[in-house]
């Protein structure tokens, strides 16, 4: 695998170029601030909302999306996946010039043919592997968040040089920018969201509900499950030293043996492997994308109902109590 670092990139590739950030949300704000601190000329394209106000408060020039697309030679498309197709078609498609660069932070729209850029521009991927706040925080500390990078279309024959300049500008080449294709970034990202995260959330919820029924104190149980932050800290360490090594170096023999002795018991390998294959298949054959389109067209009714029901759950109410009694 090819990994690009600071020595492999240069901000000179961005000289005399304007970078237009479309969307000043979770990713947009952090990347815009980092690029500006790196000496890059940044414009913000955003509708009139609270994000627009935040961008103005941060001292950015905020213009209509179509004007930013027209005035910028590098356009970073940082709005949610489901909004990209309509925003692109209405505001961006007719305002692209030859050799412009369109950068995505997630490969979804290209991989599932939601957006079809012309052949006479560069199309690239710059996908930081963390949300906005850490991107900004790590940058200010002199470090950065790793990212996946790819060039889908290189019309200018300068796409890699320019893309790596942008990656350097947001701090991604400090730890390393890994060459991962649009397809692989999209499929692995969706897989984690559709298999690993549901597995974690369901396991926590089921453990909480069943142990409370058996008489365990809800607040103490929630603290032990995740609220202490212990598991989160160990996962962060695992990112640096390895998922097996973190338990060996930071867990007691009792904990280590408990993990070893129950791994195969708590998760049936054969059944889980089938679920993994089915999850990936639904991503790759477009089934999930179609389901998401239907949900979006309904105004995310199922998702809204899910979130409202979660707020009323015993676990969520216990979290509120815990927030009052534990003084972090």
| pLDDT tens track for 170-217 | 999 999 999 999 999 999 999 999 999 999 999 999 999 999 999 999
- pLDDT tens-digit readout, 242-253: 999 999 999 999
- Does residue 174 form part of some domain? yes
Active site residue 106: yes
Whole-number Å distance between alpha carbons of 13 and 17: 9
Quote the CA–CA distance of 311 and 213 in Å, as a whole number: 19
261 falls within a domain = no
**How many CB atoms are located within 10 Å of the residue 279 CB?**
18
Q: What is the pLDDT of residues 93-127, one digit of tens each?
A: 999 999 999 999 999 999 999 999 999 999 999 99
106, 155, 179, 314: the catalytic one is: 106
Evaluate whether 170 touches 31 at the Cβ level (below 8 Å). yes
In a domain, residue 233? The reply is no
Residues 195, 75, single domain; the answer is no
pLDDT digits 0-9 by tens, 306-318: 999 999 999 999 9
Structural domains counted in the chain: 2
37 domain-assigned: yes
Q: How far is CA 35 from CA 42, 60, 211, 253, 292, in A?
A: 7, 12, 49, 47, 32
pTM: 0.91
pLDDT digits (tens, 9 = 90+) for 42-66: 999 998 888 999 999 999 999 999 9
Asked if the structure places residue 239 within a domain, the reply is no
Looking at the structure, do residues 20 and 155 belong to the same domain, yes or no? yes
* Whole-Å CA distances, 85 to 8, 131, 280: 33, 22, 24
What pLDDT score does 15 carry?
Answer: 93
260 occurs within a structural domain: no
- Domain assignment of residue 87, given as a range: 3-180
Helix (H) or strand (E) holding 45: strand 41-45
Residue whose token pair is 């729209």: 109
Q: Are residues 15 and 117 in the same domain?
A: yes
Helix-, strand-, coil-residue percentages of the chain, each rounded to 5: 60, 10, 25
147 in any annotated domain: yes
Tokens 């609220």, residue located: 227
pLDDT band at residue 89 under the 50/70/90 scheme: very high
Q: Indicate which CATH number applies to the domain containing 26.
A: 3.40.50.720
Q: CA-CA distance, 183 to 112, in Å (whole number)?
A: 9
Instruction: Report yes or no on 302 lying in a domain.
Output: yes
328 pLDDT higher than 80: no
Does 192 lie in the same domain as 130? no
């Amino acid at each position: 695998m090819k990994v690009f670092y600071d020595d492999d990139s240069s901000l000179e590739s961005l000289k005399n170029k304007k970078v237009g950030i479309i969307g000043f949300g979770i990713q947009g704000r952090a990347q815009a601030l980092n690029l500006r601190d790196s000496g890059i000329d940044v414009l913000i394209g955003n509708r009139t909302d609270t994000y627009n106000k935040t961008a103005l408060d941060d001292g950015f020039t905020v213009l209509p999306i179509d004007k930013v697309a027209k005035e910028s030679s590098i356009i970073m498309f940082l709005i949610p996946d489901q909004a990209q197709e309509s925003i692109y078609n209405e505001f961006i498609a007719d305002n692209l010039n030859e050799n412009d660069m369109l950068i995505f932070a997630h490969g979804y729209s290209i991989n599932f043919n939601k957006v079809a850029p012309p052949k006479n521009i560069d199309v690239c991927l710059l996908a930081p592997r963390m949300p906005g706040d850490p991107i900004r925080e790590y940058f200010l500390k002199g470090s950065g968040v790793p990212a996946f990078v790819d060039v889908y279309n290189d019309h200018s024959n300068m796409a890699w040089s320019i893309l790596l300049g942008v990656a350097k500008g947001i701090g991604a080449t400090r730890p390393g920018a890994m060459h991962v294709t649009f397809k692989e970034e999209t499929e692995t990202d969706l897989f984690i969201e559709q298999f690993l995260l549901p597995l974690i959330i369901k396991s926590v919820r089921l453990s909480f509900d069943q142990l409370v029924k058996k008489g365990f104190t809800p607040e103490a149980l929630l603290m032990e499950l995740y609220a202490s932050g212990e598991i989160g800290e160990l996962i962060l360490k695992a990112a640096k030293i390895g998922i097996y090594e973190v338990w060996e170096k930071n867990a007691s023999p009792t904990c280590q043996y408990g993990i070893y002795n129950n791994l195969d018991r708590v998760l049936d390998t054969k059944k889980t492997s089938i679920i993994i294959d089915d999850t990936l298949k639904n991503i790759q054959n477009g089934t999930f994308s179609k389901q998401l389109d239907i949900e979006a067209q309904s105004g995310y009714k199922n998702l809204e109902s899910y979130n409202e029901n979660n707020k009323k759950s015993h676990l969520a109410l216990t979290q509120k109590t815990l927030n009052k009694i534990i003084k972090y």
